[in-house]
Structure 1
Amino acid sequence: MPLMRIRTEIDDRPGRLAVLTAALAAERANILDLSVQVGTDGVVDEFVVDVPPDTDRGALTAVLEAAGGSRTAVVPADPRELVDEPTRVLTLVARLRADPRALPEVLADLLRADEARSVVHSVDGPLAADDEPADTLTVPIDRRRAVRLRRAGLPFTATEAARADALVRAALPGVVSGPTRRRVSLRDGTEIVVRPLEERDGAAVRAMHERCSAESRRLRYFSAEPAIAQRLLDTFSRRSHGLTLVAEGPDGSVLALAHLMHVLDPGVAETAFLIEDQWQGRGLGRALTELLVTMAREQGLVELRAAVLDENARMRELLVSFGGRVRASGRPGVVEIRLRLDHRAGRPGGAGAEPAAGDRRGRSLARSVARSGRGTARGR
């Protein structure tokens, strides 16, 4: 029976995937593989199915969209694609290590692209959304080189961009270096140290919260509670929940917190900041954002999200300057800012845009803790 690769976005509510699979079954399609990816602006479900010889791709697309799918793509698949994915990727890594000059061909094999070529490329400055067409993907190799891939009929997803970046880092580990402790110079020349939060920092973090104004705490946590709850501090300290950075001043005191907290959406993290009042407006927020973007990409993340009070103009302007898109969150007075990490733009949308399919799936661990405690991680 012919094989087809299908990608479609669905409303991510309980039972919606079952409706989609039932529609495929009604067309006598047998699902052989299923994966969940992050697309240009939502969650994409990908199927590999075998179908009867007389199946029409246009009719199959119509059936899937009638079942709740959107932006559906159906293309022929090859039986050789039905291999164990980790084994296939490890084989490609070994091939690339043996011959680094084969990088374009290896990336084409990884993403099943029709065309791959080396190009001159620059990613200097903050990462920003690109205007590439959906069937084109540029994979940075270093600050001046890249590989450009094209694939007809099947738009590249953000997850695929992250896979390509991860393959480059695995085979060419000297290309990217992720800072874990770094000195940062602010606009006035002051040098601070940024490093991961440690359990021993608890007292310093509490003292920083107490020094922050009630307004800064409200914009950060949606609450002006003067003290940080111990359960929330414990969450920030555990790497299994995500990564929290602290900024240390010249006297060793903690000046700021910045977070990458895990959520349930694949390849996505929630970000948030709290900067002590007297250190705001000096370039510290931008420096922390640059570090978080670098670390997120090295972890294979493809999107950062921040829930921000609509009145928090400073946080909005900061993330938008990095290519973030402002969207409705479904909560009064709160917007969500989505920052893509793969140089690709999502569908146009402003503050009034409807939440994407993945909005209901992602729930940060920090939010879960805060729901039973005193606050949650929000942007500042």
Structure 2
Amino acid sequence: MRSTCLANAPVAVNRFARPAMAARRHAGLVDLVPHPWLLRVERTTLTIRPVHPRELSSVAAMHSRCSPSTLLDRFRAGGKGPSVLAMDQMVRSSLSFVAVTSRGDIVAMAVAEPDRLHSGDAADAGVLVEDKWQGKGIGRELLSHLAGAALVHGYSELITYTATSAADAQRLLLEIGSTRVVNDRQRPHLHTYLPESAALGLGAVRERLAS
């Protein structure tokens, strides 16, 4: 039965306002999200940092070096990369990170943006690693950082529009939080719920804990 006592009634909150409210719980970590950190890959050291809008051409070049199968796993769309307009949106996202070599080459990218098909608590997340850099743990590290960044910015869920049969993607997401396969006819995806511990995946946090 619906209560008529308005004084004690819960206040309705716009679903897209909830992330901003939730982010206040992690306010102390927000400043660590854009902090660059180093990732050692075999004999190479990569810098993980936010991408800059002026790097659109470098991001496009990285996508062009990826094979159709790699692009298919990340974007579906018949193995084609995103449009220039879509990439421009990626590089302008506040939750967009790249892995960069000492020569300045971008070899991987992770992006999280509001997912308009789900609740305001959900972020559309994706990681792309250039073919010759795969199998070195870069995707795992980027995804862990991305999940932490999304959490401290108020998101509690990640939606990943990759192949639902992609075992590697499922395994990595399960390391982060509870993940289920959603076999939607039009947009199959993986749905991950972020625990509070996901904040420990931030690269700057891990660097501090290791020092």
TM score, norm. by length of structure 1 = 0.44
* 1:185 CA displacement: 2.2
Partners of 1:307 and 1:336 within 8 A in 2: yes
- CA 1:250–1:335: 2 relative to 1, 3 Å: same
Q: What is the SS of the residue equivalent to 2:95?
A: strand
* 1:261 CA displacement: 0.6
Q: What is the SS of the residue equivalent to 1:266?
A: coil
Say whether 1:224 aligns with 2:79: yes
C-alpha deviations, 1:332-371, integer Å up to 9, x for none?
Answer: 7933231323359xxxxxxxxxxxxxxxxxxxxxxxxxxx
* 1:199 CA displacement: 1.8
1:274 & 1:324 partners in 2: Cα distance?
A: 22
294-303 vs 332-341, which deviates more?
Answer: 332-341
Alignment counterpart, residue 12 of structure 2, candidates 35, 46, 60: 35
Partners of 2:38 and 2:48 within 8 A in 1: yes
Higher helix share: 2
What's 1:233 paired with?
87
Say whether 1:194 aligns with 2:14: no
Q: What is the SS of the residue equivalent to 1:178?
A: coil
What's 1:296 paired with?
150
Say whether 1:320 aligns with 2:174: yes
* 1:307 CA displacement: 2.2
2:115 & 2:14 partners in 1: Cα distance?
A: 14
Alignment counterpart, residue 180 of structure 1, candidates 34, 46, 55: 34
1:328 & 1:201 partners in 2: Cα distance?
A: 34
Letter in 1 for 2:12: S
2:100 & 2:169 partners in 1: Cα distance?
A: 21
1:282 & 1:243 partners in 2: Cα distance?
A: 23
279-288 vs 197-206, which deviates more?
Answer: 197-206
1:209 & 1:188 partners in 2: Cα distance?
A: 23
Letter in 2 for 1:263: D
Alignment counterpart, residue 114 of structure 2, candidates 255, 259, 262: 262
2:189 & 2:115 partners in 1: Cα distance?
A: 17
TM score, norm. by length of structure 2 = 0.76
Q: What is the SS of the residue equivalent to 2:34?
A: coil
- CA 1:305–1:36: 2 relative to 1, 3 Å: farther
* 1:245 CA displacement: 1.0
* 1:300 CA displacement: 2.1
Q: What is the SS of the residue equivalent to 1:179?
A: coil
C-alpha deviations, 1:277-316, integer Å up to 9, x for none?
Answer: 1111101111112211221222122222212212311111
Letter in 2 for 1:29: T
- 1:1-380 equivalences in 2 (<5 Å): 24=2, 29=4, 32-36=9-13, 163=22, 166-167=24-25, 169-170=26-27, 173=28, 177-222=31-76, 223-225=78-80, 227-239=81-93, 242-264=94-116, 265-331=119-185, 334-342=188-196
Higher relative contact order (CA 8 A, sep 6+): 2
2:84 & 2:11 partners in 1: Cα distance?
A: 40
2:149 & 2:185 partners in 1: Cα distance?
A: 29
What's 1:153 paired with?
none
Is there any run of 5+ residues in structure 1 with no aligned partner, and where?
A: 1-22, 39-158, 345-380
What's 1:98 paired with?
none
Q: What is the SS of the residue equivalent to 1:233?
A: helix
- CA 1:176–1:211: 2 relative to 1, 3 Å: closer
Higher strand share: 1
Is there any run of 5+ residues in structure 2 with no aligned partner, and where?
A: 199-211
RMSD over aligned Cα, in angstroms?
A: 3.0
Aligned positions, number: 190
Partners of 1:267 and 1:300 within 8 A in 2: yes
Task: Work out the percentage of aligned pairs sharing the same amino acid.
Answer: 23
1:306 & 1:34 partners in 2: Cα distance?
A: 31
2:30 & 2:127 partners in 1: Cα distance?
A: 25
